[in-house]
C-alpha cells in the first residue's frame, strides 16, 4: 500500500452539498485541499487512508457548500445603511442618496465602507462579490488585502461625479485599473455602465466594443422600474433591453441587474444574446420596484444569479437571507410551490453567480480542480432542529449567524466565526465615525 499523500488541508463535515452533481448531499465525507485547489471529495474513512494533512478540521454538525457569490452590490454604501429608508426609488436616489454621495464620497469613505461590507459578507457566507461604485481602485485594493474574490465594475456615466467628469474620464480611469489587475488571481475589473438612462448611445456602444476587445464583463442596472421602461419607450421608441441589444451591449459578458419589468420580447433577447440576470429580491421589494420572474427566466435557459444590492437599499448583505427571499418570492410570482426549490436557490447563489461573472471554471461548486472557495454552516442550534434536509434548513431558516468558517483559494477568511483578514472592532469604530460625520451634516 502506498504512503498517504501529503496535502495542505482536509475538511471533514457532517454534510457536503457540492452543487455539482446537482441536488446531492454527501454525508460524513471530507473535502481535500492542496495549494488552494480541491483535490478530492471522499468518505472520511478513505481520506484518513489516502491523505496526510498539514491541517485537519472536523466539523461534525456542519454543512459544507461552495462559497456564496454576491453577484451585485455597492459595497461602500454599507456606510449609508438606514440613511433613507421607506422611500420610492426616484425620491430615494435624487433627494437623499445622490446628494449624500456628492458630499461624502471619497477614497477613504469607499475604502472603509468596502471593508465593512466585506466583513459582513464573509461572516454570512459570501466569498466572492461583484461591486459597482466610485473610486473602484479602493475597493479592488481592499479586496486584495482581505484575500476576498471580487469583480470590480468601474462606473460609467455621462454625468460628473466625485470620481469622474464624463464618460471619457470614467473609461480612461477604469481601463487603467483594469490593466493594474489584469493578472490578479482574485480581483477582476470590468465595465459598470450605471443604467441605460445615465449613458448615451455613443457611451454604451464604446463600452460594448471595449468589453469585447478585452473579454471583460459588463454589469448594468436594467429594467429596474416600470418608469424606466416607459421613459425609454417615450425617448427612444423601444424598451431598454432592445436598445442595448441594438447597441451591441447584450452578450454573454453582460450581467443585467434587477429585470423586474419583463415581457416576452425581453426574455427572447436575453436568451438569444446569452446575457445573464442578477436578481436582487430584497432591494426590489424594499423599493417597490417590482418582481423579477425568476422561474420563467430559468425555464427559458437564462442564467439567473443572486445579489444583495447595496446596504442602503436592502439593508443587509446576507446572501443566505437573499436565498430565502428569492425562493419564496419565485413561488409567489410563478404561482407554483415547486418553483425555485432549495437546491435551485443554492445554485443561484453559487454556480449561477460564478457563471454570470465568467468564473464557473474556477468557483461555484466543490469539484476537483476548482479553487477551494468554501463555507461551513453549523446546523446544531435549536432553530435548525430537526434536520431532514440540510439544504432546506440552509435556505428556509435563518442561517446567516450559523456560518462558522470560510475559505478563499484555501486561505481561511473566517474560523470559528472569527474574521481572519479583517479587524471587526476597528471596522465598527470607523463606521460609527462616518455615521457621526454624515448624520451631523446632511
Q: Are 52 and 6 in contact (CB under 8 A)?
A: yes
Residue whose grid cell is 433591453? 241
Regarding pTM above 0.95, the answer is yes
Rg (CA), the chain: 21
CA atoms within 13 A on the CB side of 354: 24
At 251, is the secondary structure helix, strand, or coil? coil
As a whole number of angstroms, the distance between CA 153 and CA 194 comes to: 10
**Nine-digit cell string for 170:** 470614467
- 32-84 tens-digit pLDDT: 999 999 999 999 999 999 999 999 999 999 999 999 999 999 999 999 999 98
Q: Residue 377 has what pLDDT?
A: 98
List, for residues 214-234, the tens digit of each pLDDT value: 999 999 999 999 999 999 999
pLDDT at 441: 62
| 82 contact partners, CB below 8 Å, separation of at least 6 | 312, 315
Segments making up each domain of the chain, as ranges: 5-66+374-408, 68-356
What letter does residue 318 receive in the DSSP assignment?
-
List, for the chain, all residue ranges whose pLDDT scores fall below the cut of 70: 1, 440-442
**How far is residue 151's CA from residue 70's CA, in Å, rounded to a whole number?**
10
Do 100 and 412 meet the contact criterion of CB atoms below 8 Å apart? no
How confident is the model at residue 90, as a pLDDT? 83
Other C-beta atoms lying within 10 Å of the C-beta of residue 4: 13
Q: Return the beta strands (E) in 72-139 as ranges.
A: 126-132
**pLDDT score at 236:** 97
* Chosen CATH of 68-356 out of 3.40.718.10, 1.10.150.110, 3.40.190.10, 3.20.20.140: 3.20.20.140
Which three cell numbers mark 304?
Answer: 439567473
Q: Which residue has the cell 485537519?
A: 56
Q: 313: phi > 0 → left, psi -120 to 50 → alpha, else beta; which?
A: alpha
pLDDT score for 442: 55
CATH fold of 5-66+374-408, please? Urease, subunit C; domain 1 (2.30.40)
User: Taking CA 62 as the corner, what is the angle to CA 327 and CA 319, rounded to the nearest 5 degrees?
Assistant: 35
Amino acid at each position: 500500500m502506498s504512503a498517504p499523500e501529503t496535502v495542505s488541508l482536509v475538511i471533514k463535515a457532517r454534510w457536503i452539498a457540492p452543487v455539482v452533481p446537482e441536488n446531492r448531499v454527501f454525508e460524513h465525507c471530507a473535502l481535500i485541499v492542496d495549494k488552494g485547489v480541491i483535490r478530492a471529495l471522499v468518505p472520511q474513512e478513505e481520506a484518513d487512508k489516502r491523505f496526510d494533512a498539514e491541517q485537519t478540521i472536523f466539523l461534525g454538525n456542519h454543512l459544507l457548500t461552495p462559497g456564496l457569490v454576491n453577484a451585485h452590490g455597492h459595497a461602500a454604501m454599507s456606510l449609508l445603511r438606514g440613511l433613507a429608508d421607506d422611500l420610492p426609488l426616484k425620491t430615494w436616489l435624487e433627494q437623499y442618496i445622490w446628494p449624500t454621495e456628492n458630499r461624502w464620497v471619497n477614497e477613504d469613505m469607499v475604502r472603509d465602507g468596502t471593508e465593512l461590507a466585506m466583513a459582513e459578507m464573509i461572516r454570512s457566507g459570501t466569498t466572492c462579490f461583484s461591486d459597482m461604485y466610485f473610486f473602484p481602485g479602493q475597493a479592488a485594493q481592499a479586496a486584495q488585502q482581505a484575500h476576498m474574490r471580487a469583480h470590480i465594475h468601474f462606473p460609467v456615466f455621462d454625468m460628473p461625479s466625485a470620481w469622474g467628469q464624463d464618460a471619457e474620464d470614467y473609461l480612461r480611469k477604469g481601463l487603467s485599473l483594469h490593466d493594474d489587475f489584469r493578472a490578479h488571481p482574485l480581483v477582476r475589473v470590468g465595465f459598470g455602465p450605471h443604467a441605460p438612462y445615465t449613458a448615451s448611445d455613443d457611451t454604451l456602444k464604446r463600452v460594448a466594443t471595449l468589453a469585447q476587445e478585452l473579454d471583460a464583463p459588463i454589469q448594468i442596472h436594467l429594467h429596474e422600474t416600470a418608469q424606466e421602461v416607459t421613459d425609454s419607450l417615450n425617448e427612444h421608441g423601444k424598451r431598454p433591453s432592445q436598445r442595448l441589444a441594438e447597441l451591441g451591449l447584450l452578450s454573454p459578458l453582460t450581467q443585467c441587474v434587477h429585470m423586474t419589468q419583463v415581457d416576452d420580447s425581453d426574455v427572447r433577447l436575453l436568451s438569444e444574446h446569452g446575457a445573464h440576470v442578477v436578481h436582487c429580491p430584497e432591494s426590489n421589494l424594499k423599493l417597490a420596484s417590482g418582481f423579477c420572474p425568476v422561474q420563467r427566466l430559468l425555464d427559458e435557459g437564462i442564467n439567473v444569479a443572486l445579489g444583495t444590492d447595496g446596504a442602503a437599499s436592502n439593508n443587509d448583505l446576507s446572501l443566505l437571507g437573499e436565498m430565502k427571499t428569492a425562493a419564496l418570492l419565485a413561488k409567489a410570482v410563478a404561482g407554483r410551490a415547486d418553483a425555485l426549490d432549495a437546491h435551485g436557490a443554492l445554485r443561484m447563489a453559487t454556480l449561477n453567480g460564478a457563471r454570470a461573472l465568467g468564473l464557473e471554471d474556477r468557483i461555484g461548486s466543490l469539484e476537483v480542480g476548482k479553487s477551494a472557495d468554501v463555507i461551513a454552516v453549523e446546523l446544531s442550534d435549536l432553530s435548525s432542529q430537526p434536520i431532514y434536509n440540510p439544504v432546506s434548513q440552509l435556505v428556509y431558516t435563518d442561517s446567516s449567524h450559523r456560518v462558522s468558517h470560510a475559505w478563499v483559494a484555501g486561505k481561511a477568511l473566517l474560523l470559528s466565526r472569527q474574521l481572519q483578514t479583517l479587524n471587526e472592532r476597528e471596522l465598527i469604530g470607523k463606521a460609527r465615525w462616518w455615521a457621526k460625520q454624515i448624520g451631523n451634516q446632511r
